[in-house]
Amino acid sequence: MNPVLPFEWIVAWRFLREGRLQTLFIVTGIAIGVGVIVFMSALLAGLQANFVRRVLTAQPHIQLLPAKEVARPLGPPPGLARDAVEDALVQAPLQRTRSIDQWQGVAQQIRALGEVRVVSPEADGSALAVRGDASRAISIAGVDPAFYFHIVDVPSKIVAGQARLGPRDAIVGTELASDLGATVGDKLRLSAASGADLTLTVAGIVDLGSKGANQRTVYLSLHTAQSLLGLVGGVSSIGVTVGDVYAAEAVARRITAATGVEADSWITTNAQFFSAVSAQTTANTTIRVFVALSVAFGIASVLVVSVVQKSREIGILRAMGISRGQVLRVFLIEGGLLGLAGSVVGAAIALVALALWRRIAVNPDGSPLFPITMPPLLLLLALGVATVVGLLSALAPALRAARLDPVVAIRG
Amino acid sequence: MAEPVVELERVTKRFNVGQPNETEVLHGIDLRLSRGEFCAVMGPSGSGKSTLLNLVGLLDRPTSGTLRIAGVDTGALDEAGLTRLRGHEIGFVFQYHHLLPAFSACENVMMPMLGARGFPDADMRRKAEQLLERVGLSPWRDVPPTSLSGGQQQRIAVARALVMQPPLLLADEPTGNLDSASADKVFKLLREVNREQGMAILFVTHNAELAARCDRIVQVVDGRVAAGVVPAQGRDSCIALR
């Protein structure tokens, strides 16, 4: 007997060891349940983290946009009733590239918010890139590298040249560079719809990880873009990053409330993804609850059988002076140990499944489809929850054992 | 006069109290067992012997009357108090030994001490080994009880009942399932312990020969101690009793 272990632990352990086959079966059952839960949770978390990472490495958490132009019906001419309107149909106005009103003040206001990390003013618009006979429609992103490169890490995505944005520099997407036959140092002419025209030098070529973005993105310095788009001194949007990405929506609402400028969080702009995640999470939670219930009933049934089988031994123990509390604890410990053992094996199963998944789910180039990690916290949580489930499910059989009348139990 | 270990005064036991099938099994039992006394309890099946033993063993409570164990009035004790008193003052040997198959012979003997102390220690083991040596089972101390004969298992149960050195030992037909040689061994063992340690023993049996070797015999008939306690006949008068 281990001198460190108390009476209840020794008896619980020996009882479990005595019913080897029963113990093995229930531990296997618990392990499969826990393994499935842990693996599914890791997979789901990996999927979400991967999407969030992809989304947030290419866009700010919150984007402030100028208010849309709206057409207001004309008021009634003098002398006419208030509800007399010349025309019931109001034509939708054209949305011009406009600046955010008082954007310097707005940016300063946002920077003062505690959760905000980076505030990056941008002048965005569309133009035509021309080189020789080739021309492509492009999206201009006029940015201040000192801020914007903290939102999108452009320097790390540069495949040729450097992430330099001087007054006459442009950083272009790989596909666009290829379409225009441009390399680093080549000249590129950009024509805006307003008629403005600029000839710039390709300072760097960037791979943004998406073919569409690589086909049309051109980064310019903020001032260059402002001149080209006719937004002198103005910005068409302000990008914001926050400390907690999942708090972006709440921060966006606060910004709108404080500044009156429309602010869209990445959560709103990716609502479809979040509704899918929510559905997945609900399904996963439902599965978890039912697996936990089946594990609980499994443990309880094994322990109920064990109490019936051992009722005479329990009676004798009680006759020897073992208290009801000690008997209760023996069976609670049995339940807890079953839960713990099952979850340890289950966690191992999940880790093996994860290793297999990493081997099977790969891109054609051999890189993983998306990175999945098994956070230690998830494993600890699974161990803790399974042990608690074991303890709770052992409660009924343990109470039954503790309440056994020794006279009846001994008589059998 | 030796100090009393068990005292019953007008003890009754009724089952299904307040129900149509209420039954009184014991009717006003008066019994006194002193330290060092070896008392046989005899009587036909259903006479109330086991009920009497359960009351004395604190496994059940009397419906009325007074029961004192080692001078303690048990009527005033709660469940925990009864369990404690039982653990320290009373040893049990049953017809079916009910040893724990998950533990070795030695560990089975240690069990009451382990339960009382909470953690195993060297002293516990030493005492258990001494007792196993005493009952002649030292070589089998580390084997599971299931690999031993019925007689050997019952001797382990006796050792288990003795390990706490209780002043009272209750034996409920401990030889009922044993052949005569094994029964004799178990009885002799109880007799030795009774004489050496002054332990009071209440020995329920149907075996008149063994009963005659006790200090006295209590006859229980229809829930009453038969008038007059049969005096001890001693070893030499066994034949007369038969």
The list of chain A residues with pLDDT below 70 reads 73-77, 79-89, 95-96, 412
For residues A119 and A256, state if they share a domain. Answer: yes
For residues A42 and A105, state if they share a domain. Answer: no
CA distance B214 to B190: 10
B92: contact with A, CB 8 A cutoff:
yes
Contact between residue A323 and residue B80 where contact means Cβ atoms under 8 Å apart? yes
Size of interface A-B (CB pairs under 8 A): 77
**Which pTM does this prediction carry?**
0.73
In a domain, A244, yes or no: yes
Q: Which residues of B touch A315 (CB under 8 A)?
A: 98
**pLDDT of amino acid A326:** 94
Report how many domains make up chain B. Answer: 1
In a domain, A81, yes or no: no
Contact between residue A298 and residue A29 where contact means Cβ atoms under 8 Å apart? yes
Work out whether the CA dihedral A142, A147, A150, A154 comes out positive or negative.
Answer: positive
**pLDDT of amino acid B1:** 59
Record: contact B114-A407, CB cut-off 8 A: no
Q: Which residues of B touch A18 (CB under 8 A)?
A: 101-102
| Residues 142-171 in B contacting A (C-alpha not used; CB under 8 Å) | 160, 164
B236: contact with A, CB 8 A cutoff:
no
Contact between residue B148 and residue B171 where contact means Cβ atoms under 8 Å apart? no
What token pair was written down for A180?
A: 């225009």
**pLDDT of amino acid B228:** 45
For residues A131 and A235, state if they share a domain. Answer: yes
- For A81-133, what is each residue's pLDDT tens digit? 666 655 666 777 776 677 888 888 888 888 888 888 999 999 999 999 998 88
A327: contact with B, CB 8 A cutoff:
no
In a domain, A71, yes or no: no
**pLDDT of amino acid B242:** 25
Backbone φ and ψ of B234, nearest 5°: 75, 165
Report how many domains make up chain A. Answer: 2
Q: Give alpha helix (H) positions in B57-121.
A: 79-89, 105-117
Residue B55 pLDDT > 50: yes
Pairing label, strands A169-173, A62-65: unpaired
For residues A305 and A195, state if they share a domain. Answer: no
Of B60, B103, B111, the CB nearest to A320: B111
In a domain, A86, yes or no: no
**pLDDT of amino acid A86:** 59
Mean pLDDT score, B41-50: 89
Contact between residue A163 and residue A154 where contact means Cβ atoms under 8 Å apart? yes
A20: contact with B, CB 8 A cutoff:
no
Its domain, for residue B38, covers 4-241
ipTM: 0.84
Q: Which residues of A touch B25 (CB under 8 A)?
A: none
Q: Which residues of A touch B80 (CB under 8 A)?
A: 323
Q: How confident is the model at residue B124 (pLDDT cuts 50, 70, 90)?
A: very high
B144, closest residue in chain A (CA to CA)? A18
The number of beta carbons lying within 10 Å of the beta carbon of residue A317 is: 26
In a domain, A278, yes or no: yes
Record: contact A407-B60, CB cut-off 8 A: yes
**Burial class, A87, CB count within 10 angstroms (exposed 0-12 / middle 13-18 / buried 19+):** exposed
Record: contact A14-B103, CB cut-off 8 A: yes
Q: Which residues of A touch B57 (CB under 8 A)?
A: 319
- Least confident range from A71-75, A201-205, B8-12, B171-175: namely A71-75
Record: contact B79-A319, CB cut-off 8 A: no
**pLDDT of amino acid A84:** 62
For residues A18 and A147, state if they share a domain. Answer: no
Residue type, A5: L
For residues A223 and A113, state if they share a domain. Answer: yes
B45: contact with A, CB 8 A cutoff:
no
- For A142-179, what is each residue's pLDDT tens digit? 999 999 999 888 999 999 999 999 999 999 999 999 99
DSSP class of residue A111? Answer: H
Q: How confident is the model at residue B135 (pLDDT cuts 50, 70, 90)?
A: confident
Of A4, A315, A321, the CB nearest to B112: A321
In a domain, A255, yes or no: yes
Q: Which residues contact B150 (CB under 8 A, 6 or more apart)?
A: B97, B177, B178, B182
Helices A103-111 and A248-259 cross at an angle (nearest 10°) of 130
**pLDDT of amino acid A58:** 76
Q: Which residues contact A370 (CB under 8 A, 6 or more apart)?
A: A46, A47, A50, A361
Contact between residue A218 and residue A138 where contact means Cβ atoms under 8 Å apart? yes
**pLDDT of amino acid B185:** 85
For residues A103 and A251, state if they share a domain. Answer: yes
**pLDDT of amino acid A37:** 87
Of A10, A316, A323, the CB nearest to B98: A316
Record: contact B86-A321, CB cut-off 8 A: yes
B109: contact with A, CB 8 A cutoff:
no
CA distance B78 to B93: 24
Of the CA atoms within 13 Å of residue A135, those in its CB half-sphere come to 9
Smallest CA-to-CA distance from A323 within A8, A2, A1, A17 is with A8
Helix (H) or strand (E) holding A178: helix A174-180
A15: contact with B, CB 8 A cutoff:
yes
For residues A152 and A228, state if they share a domain. Answer: yes
Mean pLDDT score, B200-229: 86
Of B84, B96, B102, the CB nearest to A17: B102
A2: contact with B, CB 8 A cutoff:
yes
Residue B241 pLDDT > 50: no
Residue B239 pLDDT > 50: no
For residues A26 and A152, state if they share a domain. Answer: no
For residues A240 and A324, state if they share a domain. Answer: no
Mean pLDDT score, B133-159: 90
What token pair was written down for A82?
A: 């208030």
A2, closest residue in chain B (CA to CA)? B120
The domain boundary residue, chosen from A197, A231, A260: A260
Of B60, B80, B119, the CB nearest to A6: B119
CA distance B177 to B158: 14
In a domain, A115, yes or no: yes
In a domain, A79, yes or no: no
Rounded-to-10 torsion of CA A160, A162, A167, A172: 30
The secondary structure of A253-264, three-state, reads HHHHHHHCCEEE
Its domain, for residue A370, covers 7-55+273-411
For residues A309 and A241, state if they share a domain. Answer: no
Record: contact A7-B119, CB cut-off 8 A: yes
What token pair was written down for B144?
A: 């599971």
CATH number of the domain that B35 lies in?
A: 3.40.50.300
Across chain A, how many H-helices and E-strands are there?
15, 10
